[in-house]
Amino acid sequence: MSYSSLLSFSLGFLLLFHCSFGQIEQVVNSQQRQQQQRFQTQCQIQNLNALEPQRRIESEAGVTEFWDQNEEQLQCANVAVFRHTIQSRGLLVPSYNSAPELIYVVQGKFDTRAFNIITTGIHGAVFPGCPETFQEESRSQSQSWSWFSRSGRSQQSGEQHQKVRHIREGDVIALPAGVAHWIYNNGQSKLVLVALADVGNSENQLDQNFRKFVLGGSPQQEIQGGGQSRSRSRSQSESESRSSRRGQQGQQSNNILSAFDEEMLAQSFNIDTQLVKRLQREEKQRGIIVKVKEDLQVLSPQRQEQEQEQEYSDNGLEETFCTMTLKHNINDPSRADVYNPHGGRVTSINAFNLPILRYLQLSAEKGVLYRNAILAPHWNLNAHSVVYVIRGNGKVQIVSENGESVFDEEIREGQLVVVPQNYAVVKRASSEGFEWVSFKTNGLAKISQLAGRVSVFRGLPLDVIANSFDISREDAWRLKESRSEMTIFGPGSSSQRESQSERERESEREREREERQRQ
């Protein structure tokens, strides 16, 4: 009897282990497929250029600028890049994209002073099927929100909506494909956002064109086609031509509600057709960044509470689909991953400290180089890197697999350059310093350094280096060991400083000899 029980237990345990292992293997294989399912492009880049926005589209309360997606390096990385500048009390109306998106908050500060906090704006995202967790109790009839049911009876309720987030300079905001979102500038200065849409991501199953679907306002035609690539079909060109003719006739492209049948839309929302007409056709063209007449009224906790919530998330508490953290600040020096008091700092954000990036397969890096400092030459193992300059300027050199220079220029504030996967790159700040953010097309992007304490050469045997370059063991040792810093190098190496000191001592000795001869 005991033998039979033991046998049953053993068989049950083996079955459970097999099922568990199968589930783990299925999850791992799913993640691997997700990383591999990315539109592949043929990157035959012979020369890279520092890129600036090519199209500027003005709205009522701001400007949207697009980089040309036809640029070879952007097509190689399979991304679209654009920048919003939102004026004070400007609202970027709700919209969603066909591809995952990362937004970096470049600038826009407002010091409330009374509470001694910094806030730049408010961001909201609506996840389908998730509850409106921000709720306000019902108020008096004069202050409450009301609507009419099918029976015609008025119903009263307090305001409720999905979660909103305070955003500030240095925040990275992650948005899955198809998730509607909006941003409001509640500060006194301009709010500048630079964004990257990963059109090569497996979540985008339409094509490799950037598509923005706008839920409000009166978007210009160029907004929806802001990232169109040159690989257009004939039908696409004809459709764009027809849309262009409509625009010339004064009928600009509108939000996605504009083309629905009035009666069907009225029945769907249970509203009258007069309101439907206002939703579909605005009296004036305001664009996608509209002016809010009075302060935007939304439910929001105090900023300190949101910061505590962010810390809980950073500490690894489990998240659900409806409670996923969407933002992480990489401007805080205390969060730097690499810091050199003489050179600067680098802060990374990836699937480890912002778990949603595991699904988006994107990550970001913020770099700050002090005057004349150098970021160690390196290459990206598993991602393209789109480098956008935030402040200052610096010298960037990029080298291809042929050992040829494909980029060797000064790059300044507002420009970007793409560093293709495995291309070697080095950055050096000017006398003004150099500050940038890099968007990378992998949730766990990795780099490999050529110089420094954690470099490839540090891991190679001395004789391998000496024979590879046909140099002496002493020279190989200097190449391997002379740089003790890790990733960021201060201005001037230790060997240069030693050589300079030696030259100064030699000059001093020469002056002493000349002085003795004169005596």
CATH number at residue 445: 2.60.120.10
Sign of CA dihedral 355, 174, 161, 215: negative
**How many Cβ atoms sit within 10 Å of the Cβ of residue 104?**
25
**Do 219 and 334 have their domain in common?**
no
- 343 is a domain residue: yes
Query: Are both 402 and 391 inside the same structural domain?
Result: yes
Q: How confident is the model at residue 369 (pLDDT cuts 50, 70, 90)?
A: very high
Is residue 203 in a domain?
A: yes
**Contact partners, residue 367, CB within 8 Å, separation at least 6:** 344, 345, 346, 347, 375, 427, 434, 435, 436, 437, 438
For residue 251, what pLDDT is reported?
43
- Indicate whether 487 pLDDT > 90: yes
Are 303 and 361 members of one domain?
A: no
Q: In terms of domains, do 314 and 360 share one?
A: no
pLDDT score at 4? 52
Note whether 294 and 387 are same-domain residues. Answer: no
User: Is residue 276 situated within a structural domain?
Assistant: no
Tell me: do 334 and 222 sit in the same domain: no
User: Does residue 504 have a pLDDT over 70?
Assistant: no
- Looking at every residue in the chain, the average pLDDT score rounds to 78
Q: What is the pLDDT of residue 119?
A: 55
- Provide, rounded to the nearest whole percent, the portion of the chain with pLDDT above 90: 49
89 and 192 share one domain: yes
Of 269, 295, 329, the residue at which a domain comes to its end is: 329
pLDDT digits (tens, 9 = 90+) for 383-435: 999 999 999 999 999 999 999 999 999 999 999 999 999 999 999 999 999 99
Q: Read off the pLDDT of residues 431-461 as tens digits, 9 standing for 90 and up.
A: 999 999 999 999 999 999 999 999 999 999 9
489 CB contacts (<8 Å, ≥6 apart)?
Answer: 340, 343, 373, 374, 375, 376, 451, 452, 483
* Predicted pLDDT of residue 410: 96
Q: Is 5 helix (H, G, I), strand (E, B) or coil?
A: helix
Domain shared by 318 and 343, yes or no:
no
- Same domain as 391, residue 322: no
Examine residue 323 and state whether it is found in any structural domain, yes or no: yes
pLDDT at residue 228 in the model: 55
For residue 502, tell me if it sits in a domain. Answer: no
In a domain, 422, yes or no: yes
Cα four-point dihedral sign 45, 46, 50, 56 = negative
Q: Out of 264, 295, 329, pick the residue that ends a domain.
A: 329
Tokens of 484: 């003790």
Domain identity same for 337 and 392 = yes
- What is the value of pTM for the model shown? 0.79
Structure confidence at residue 420 (pLDDT): 95
Q: What band does 217 get if pLDDT is binned at 50, 70 and 90?
A: confident
| Range of lowest pLDDT (39-43, 81-85, 393-397) | 39-43
Task: Please state which of the ranges 54-68, 143-157, 208-222, 264-278 shows the lowest mean pLDDT.
Answer: 143-157
Q: Which of 180-184, 229-233, 297-301, 352-356 has the lowest mean pLDDT?
A: 229-233
489 pLDDT band, cuts 50/70/90, is very high
Residue pair 449/376 in contact (Cβ under 8 Å)? The answer is yes
- pLDDT tens track for 161-206: 678 889 999 999 999 999 999 999 988 889 999 999 999 988 888 8
Query: Which range has highest mean pLDDT (45-59, 99-113, 321-335, 433-447)?
Result: 433-447
pLDDT confidence of residue 110: 41
Task: Tell me how many domains the chain contains.
Answer: 2
Please check the confidence at residue 476 and state whether its pLDDT lies above 90. Answer: yes
Using one digit for the tens of pLDDT, what is the confidence trace for 255-275? 888 888 888 999 998 888 888
Residues 224 and 97 grouped into a single domain: yes
In a shared domain, residues 291 and 423: no
Q: In the chain, what percentage of residues exceed pLDDT 70?
A: 68
Domain that holds residue 354: 330-452+487-495
Confidence of residue 40 (pLDDT cuts 50, 70, 90): low
Q: Taking 70 as the threshold, does the pLDDT of residue 120 lie above it?
A: yes
The answer to whether residue 377 sits within a structural domain is yes
Domain membership of residue 243 (yes or no) is no
Mean pLDDT of all residues in 84-97? 94
Q: What is the pLDDT of residues 279-308, one digit of tens each?
A: 887 667 888 999 998 877 776 666 544 554
Residues 202-207: contacts with CB under 8 Å, at least 24 apart = 202/34, 202/37, 202/38, 202/361, 203/99, 203/100, 203/176, 203/177, 203/178, 203/360, 204/39, 204/98, 204/99, 204/100, 204/177, 206/98
Please choose, from the candidates 180, 237, 210, the residue with its C-alpha nearest in 3D space to the C-alpha of residue 77: 210
Q: Residues 194-221, buried b or exposed e (16+ Cβ, 10 A)?
A: bbbbbbbbbbbeebbbbbbebbbbbbbb
Identify the bridge partners of residue 198 per DSSP, sorted by sequence position: none
Stretch 369-386: mean pLDDT:
96
Q: What angle do CA 353, 439, 287 make, to 5 degrees?
A: 110
